[in-house]
A = this chain, B = another copy of it.
Amino acid sequence: MIGLFSLGVAVTGAASFAVLNKSSRQSSTLPLSEAPKIHHDTSAANIKAACQEFERIIGKDHISSERTDLVTHSGSDYQSYAWTEENAILSNVILYPETTEQVSQIVKVCFRRRLPVTPYSGGTSIEGQYIPQFQGVCIDFTRMNHIKEINPVDLDCTVQPGIGWVDLNDELASHGLFFPPDPGPGAMIGGMVGTGCSGTNAAAYGTMKDWVLSLTVVLADGTIIQTRQRARKSSAGYDLTRVFVGSEGTLGLVTEATLKLAVKPPHEVVAVCTFPTLRAAASAVREVASSGIQVAAVEILDEVQMRNINLAALTRLKWKEEPTLFFKFAGSDDFIVKHIAKKVGEITKRNGSSTYTFASDEGERNELWSARKAALWSMLAQRQSPTDKVWTTDVAVPLSRLPDIIELAKADIEESGLMGSIVGHVGDGNFHTLLLFPEEKRPIAEAVVHRMVDMAIEMKGTATGEHGIGLVKRDYLEKELGKETVDTMRAMKSAFDPMCILNCDKVIRMKPVEEQ
């Protein structure tokens, strides 16, 4: 009665309010110290009982607990996280559902039984997004690989999460359409939504955030929601679509995605030019941008990378081992596309480039672009041992600082003694270093990466332009965005997934480090 009585009068202190609301959290953020304790239950008895329920939902044939499956779903050598087969945490069981309804039923079981859930689609993420941290259940979306509809006039399509973007684009080509985000070739839509990925098309077309219209999502308690209808533009309530894009499966599991599509420009030109220095190349890109010329893509590869491509002999051409820009131009009109390509050629020449090779024929275009595509594989070809690791970083900075950070990063890699090359999405301030190292030199690689991230944050940039946070980058978040921002993200996570069963402890730490 005291509590209720105090409502009608002017209360000046905070203490009195506590009486009214002692059961509910009274702040907008959730510091780690106040996060609810995680109580998963992965006891053998709970797993066994759960599996009996899973069998009723998806049938015995779509459940696996074979060690080889569990291992391939537990990590890879291309992760920034120190995964090895020996020390891997394995899920207890892998489930292969076929429908949204099945995923919902599975998650309801996991919610009731407090079983941790790790989602898996293409397995190409490199920040540990699919590495299980607490055993439990892995949900593999491989069987949910259908295109449900393509609406050519509406420029959209609806697909399941297990379809790859390469397969989707093969199908769309017959309609003269394509889906622009182009990450690693094996990536599937589910994971692409999860990481909020991008690729070489991002400079002109934007990232995954810009190409998802609507999502069907299974929440932590099994509730199925759809975030939007199909209008290309909507202000109907909070932007849940973009809440889930980039949330790495920690807020909900995507079981269907309606994607915007673009008209495939009928004409395309690829141009390649080399520069005496990275800075000269960057300055050419800047002049192109500030003149308002729209390029479809512009990528930079450093001389180390060009040398690796020659060494690996993955392309038919022999390349100059100099900092190199790769341009794509595209449009509705052959004449215009060539006109723009020529104008850019004048700009690159003015900025010190001595060569400018360009191709409009499809075969020649693909040949030129093949070097850009071969970057990662040519680095992998340099491995001295099959267990050597490749760590691909992806810091991004405001455009003006890109030449500075690339130069600093190159000098630091050189000093470290590691092999490291640069591949950059120079149009949006994002670049990769590909660091090659044997496991015993991991501390050296780690130190290089940490220094690079520190520099990027110092320059008002980000630890990750497109690969996401996953595991290793969690502890950069506070430095980059501040503790309060991370505490706000944690409040969101806790609202969506109060028992932390969905990809728990990724993106945002939900468990204090000292308890790990």
Residues on A lying within 8 angstroms of B by beta carbon are: 7-14, 17, 20-21, 23-29, 36, 39, 41, 43, 45-46, 48-49, 112-114, 151-156, 176, 195-198, 202, 206-207, 209-210, 219-221, 223-240, 242-243, 245-247, 251-252, 263-266, 286, 289-294, 331-333, 335-336, 339-340, 343, 394, 396-400, 425, 428-430, 456-457, 460-469, 473, 476-477, 480-482, 484-489, 491-499, 507-508
Contacts and interface: CB of A to CB of B under 8 A. Distances in A.
A495 B489 CA distance: 10
Contact of A291 (B114, B332, B397, B430): B332
B399 A236 contact: no
B462 A234 contact: yes
B155 A289 contact: yes
A150 to B, nearest CB: 12
19 contacts: A8-B43, A11-B113, A28-B220, A28-B223, A155-B399, A206-B206, A225-B485, A231-B460, A231-B465, A235-B466, A236-B469, A236-B481, A237-B477, A238-B489, A239-B243, A239-B245, A242-B243, A336-B340, A491-B496
B398 A151 contact: yes
Contact of A10 (B49, B289, B291): B49
Nearest to A507: B237
A287 to B, nearest CB: 11
Contacts of A496: 28, 488, 491
A357 B277 CA distance: 49
B480 A221 contact: no
A427 B197 CA distance: 26
A332 B293 contact: yes
A80 to B, nearest CB: 13
B231 A397 contact: yes
Between A10, A293, A430, A497, the greatest number of chain B beta carbons within 10 A of the residue's beta carbon is seen for A10
Nearest to A28: B219
B331 A11 contact: no
B237 A12 contact: no
B292 A266 contact: yes
Given A228-B462, A290-B263, A221 B9 contact: no
A162 B230 CA distance: 33
A400 B7 CA distance: 55
B232 A399 contact: yes
Given A232-B398, A246-B238, A265-B292, A223 B113 contact: no
A238 B244 CA distance: 8
B229 A29 contact: no
Contacts of A195: 235
Given A207-B233, A231-B398, A462-B229, A491 B495 contact: yes
A457 to B, nearest CB: 7
A461 B233 CA distance: 9
Nearest to A458: B229
A114 B16 CA distance: 12
Between A43, A232, A335, the greatest number of chain B beta carbons within 10 A of the residue's beta carbon is seen for A232
- Enumerate the 4 nearest inter-chain pairs by beta-carbon distance, A residue then B residue, closest first: A10-B45, A495-B495, A28-B219, A231-B396
A233 B336 contact: no
B233 A430 contact: yes
Contacts of A242: 209, 239, 242-243
Nearest to A229: B460
A485 to B, nearest CB: 4
Given A154-B400, A488-B240, A429 B232 contact: yes
Given A224-B484, A227-B481, A243-B492, 12 more contacts: A20-B39, A24-B36, A25-B498, A28-B497, A153-B286, A225-B482, A230-B460, A233-B425, A236-B469, A237-B477, A263-B290, A494-B495
B226 A481 contact: yes
A275 to B, nearest CB: 19
A205 to B, nearest CB: 11
B480 A196 contact: no
Contacts of A340: 332-333, 336
B461 A398 contact: no
Nearest to A202: B233
Contacts of A151: 398, 400
A462 B240 contact: no
Contacts of A476: 236
